[in-house]
């Protein structure tokens, strides 16, 4: 009889631990979606922190350096959404560049507090006989 009680207690403890782990992981996960995925089912992502990825639409970038508010549109060529980012933009941020913004939607605008710029990791060495720009090299290393 004692074995059954211990077995039931063990199963109960494992069940409670499983529920707690599932809740913790559910709250910690940040989904990565494209604008068209959000547009297809916005209710799924309501009141949820997400990462929205796409391209910065040309002609939409506005930056208020007094309030540190960056506004632009992000698109995946199928759907476009306005983004409002709080903070200074990264150096590589520009139009027609891939970005990933983290935050949530509020009244049709994506409010971001984290902005990542996608860039290539391909290093191109100078061609044979082409001189290295020493000043550019110094600036890149500072």
The percent helix, strand, coil of the chain (3-state, each to 5) is 30, 30, 35
Distances (CA, A) of 129 to 2, 125, 136, 139: 84, 11, 18, 22
Alpha-carbon distance of 35 to 56, in angstroms, equals 12
What integer pLDDT is reported at residue 140 of this predicted model? Answer: 46
Query: Domain residues for 86?
Result: 34-142
Whether residues 142 and 127 fall in one domain: yes
Whether residues 51 and 25 fall in one domain: no
CATH of the domain at 52: 2.40.50.140
22-35 confidence digits (pLDDT tens): 776 655 667 788 89
Is residue 103 within 8 A of residue 110, CB to CB? The reply is yes
Burial 34-61 (b: 16+ CB within 10 A, else e): bbebbeeeeeebeeeebebbbbbbeeee
124-136 confidence digits (pLDDT tens): 555 666 665 555 5
Whether residues 137 and 93 fall in one domain: yes
Alpha-carbon distance of 32 to 73, in angstroms, equals 17
What integer pLDDT is reported at residue 142 of this predicted model? Answer: 44
pTM higher than the cut 0.85: no
Whether residues 71 and 102 fall in one domain: yes
Count the helices and strands in the chain (H runs, E runs). Answer: 3, 7
Mean pLDDT of 7-14: 83
**Beta-carbon count within 10 A of 29 CB:** 10
Is residue 78 within 8 A of residue 33, CB to CB? The reply is no
What integer pLDDT is reported at residue 141 of this predicted model? Answer: 43
Whether residues 20 and 38 fall in one domain: no
What integer pLDDT is reported at residue 47 of this predicted model? Answer: 79
50-107 confidence digits (pLDDT tens): 999 889 999 999 998 888 899 999 988 888 999 999 988 888 888 888 899 999 998 8
Whether residues 136 and 97 fall in one domain: yes
Beta-ladder partners of 33: 52
Whether residues 14 and 67 fall in one domain: no
- What is the torsional sign of CA 50, 90, 106, 62? negative
Q: How many domains does the chain have?
A: 2
Higher-confidence residue of 120 and 34: namely: 34
Whether residues 14 and 58 fall in one domain: no
What integer pLDDT is reported at residue 98 of this predicted model? Answer: 87
What integer pLDDT is reported at residue 136 of this predicted model? Answer: 56
Whether residues 50 and 115 fall in one domain: yes
Whether residues 56 and 2 fall in one domain: no
């Amino acid at each position: 009889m004692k074995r059954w009680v211990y077995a039931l207690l063990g199963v109960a403890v494992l069940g409670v631990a499983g529920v707690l782990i599932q809740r913790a992981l559910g709250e910690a996960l940040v989904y990565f979606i494209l604008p068209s995925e959000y547009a297809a089912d916005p209710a799924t992502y309501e009141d949820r922190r997400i990462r929205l990825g796409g391209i910065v639409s040309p002609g939409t970038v506005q930056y208020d350096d007094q309030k540190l508010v960056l506004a632009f549109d992000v698109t995946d060529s199928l759907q476009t959404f306005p983004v409002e980012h709080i903070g200074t933009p990264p150096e590589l941020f520009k139009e027609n560049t891939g970005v990933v913004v983290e935050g949530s939607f509020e009244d049709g605008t994506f409010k971001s507090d984290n902005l990542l710029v996608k860039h290539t990791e391909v290093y191109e060495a100078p061609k044979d006989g082409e001189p290295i720009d020493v000043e550019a090299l110094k600036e890149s290393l500072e």
